[in-house]
């Protein structure tokens, strides 16, 4: 277990070893995932507006305009509100003594960990983070679909998008965003023990992966398709009326739905 002193590092101590001199790495964790969302989603949106690579689209641009029940303005407003809440939560909870700065925590037995190569240890932490984050999202997603009340008043917001697109990756109710994303991320980083910078790369990669999965583009040789079976096609099925009860997995792993036989191609 981490020693208390690992949680109580001062801002000055953390700035001495930060990636950007004078700026705590903690603030990168707040900014980079948000920037990654807006930049990556904007690039896909540009393809939509210019009608580029239409042969790679699962649904036409016109189909999205006709079938989706939420406007782009509504999506923007909801996502900005979510991100504001997430930033405020992080600042209030971790600004002075962030648990995420406990970067010296060992994944394995503390006496054995020093003998491991740093890269191996970080890889193990990444794998643990993927499993925790994925199961957290899958479990809550399954709960939302199993309860008529929660689906109607919480999760149905995200399903106003029958034709997913990039900005819709984070479009959900504030309650769902807080439980699934804000609390889920906190639990993931705490249990996996990822130091701040690796946690930043993990969060940023996960955001870009989620944007890709909602983009509606089926690109050949997409690197994310080699990383995970949870592809754009896989998630698109879940957004269709006939696939609503299938493909609950999100982000990386599909093992959860495979075990429950809730996979639909």
Percentages (nearest 5) of helix, strand, coil residues in the chain: 70, 0, 30
Q: Does the pLDDT value for residue 31 go beyond 90?
A: yes
Strand-pairing partners, residue 20, are 23
Mean per-residue pLDDT, 186-204: 92
Mean per-residue pLDDT, 105-122: 59
Return the closest-CA partner of residue 196 out of 120, 114, 92, 90.
Answer: 90
Q: Say what the pLDDT of residue 17 is.
A: 57
Mean per-residue pLDDT, 28-34: 95
Q: Say what the pLDDT of residue 4 is.
A: 37
Mean per-residue pLDDT, 114-132: 83
- Beta strand segments in the chain, E: none
Mean per-residue pLDDT, 192-210: 93
- Lowest mean pLDDT of 26-30, 64-68, 117-121, name the range: 117-121
Mean per-residue pLDDT, 82-93: 93
Please state the φ and ψ torsions of residue 129, each to the nearest 5 degrees: -60, -40
CA distance 54 to 59: 9
- Two structure tokens written together for 76: 């923007």
Count of beta carbons in the 10 Å neighbourhood of residue 83: 19
The answer to whether the pTM exceeds 0.95 is no
Q: Say what the pLDDT of residue 95 is.
A: 62
Mean per-residue pLDDT, 96-120: 52
CA distance 152 to 106: 42
Count of beta carbons in the 10 Å neighbourhood of residue 120: 12
Mean pLDDT score of the chain, rounded to an integer? Answer: 85
SS3 217: strand
Count of beta carbons in the 10 Å neighbourhood of residue 22: 7
The pLDDT tens digits of the residues spanning 61-78 come to: 889 889 999 999 999 999
Say if CB 159 and CB 166 are below 8 A apart.
no
DSSP 247: -
- Two structure tokens written together for 32: 């980079």
Count of beta carbons in the 10 Å neighbourhood of residue 185: 24
């Amino acid at each position: 277990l981490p020693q208390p002193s690992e949680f109580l590092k001062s801002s000055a101590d953390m700035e001495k070893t930060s990636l950007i001199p004078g700026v705590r790495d903690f603030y990168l964790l707040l900014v980079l995932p948000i920037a990654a969302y807006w930049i990556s989603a904007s690039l896909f949106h540009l393809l939509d507006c210019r009608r580029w690579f239409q042969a790679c689209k699962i649904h036409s641009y016109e189909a999205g305009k006709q079938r989706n029940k939420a406007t782009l303005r509504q999506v923007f407003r909801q996502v900005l509100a979510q991100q504001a809440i997430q930033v405020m939560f992080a600042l209030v909870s971790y600004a002075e003594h962030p648990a995420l700065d406990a970067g010296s925590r060992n994944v394995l037995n503390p006496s054995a960990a020093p003998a491991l190569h740093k890269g191996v240890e970080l890889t193990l932490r990444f794998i643990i983070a993927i499993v925790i984050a994925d199961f957290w999202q899958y479990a809550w997603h399954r709960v939302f679909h199993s309860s008529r009340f929660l689906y109607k008043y919480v999760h149905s917001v995200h399903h106003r998008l029958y034709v997913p697109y990039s900005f819709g990756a984070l479009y959900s109710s504030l309650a769902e965003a807080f439980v699934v994303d804000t609390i889920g991320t906190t639990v993931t980083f705490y249990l996996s023990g990822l130091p701040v910078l690796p946690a930043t790369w993990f969060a940023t990669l996960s955001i870009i992966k989620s944007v890709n999965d909602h983009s509606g583009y089926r690109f050949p040789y997409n690197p994310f398709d080699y990383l995970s079976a949870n592809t754009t096609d896989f998630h698109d099925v879940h957004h269709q009326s006939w696939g609503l009860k299938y493909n609950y997995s999100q982000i990386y792993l599909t093992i959860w739905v495979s075990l429950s036989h809730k996979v639909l191609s």
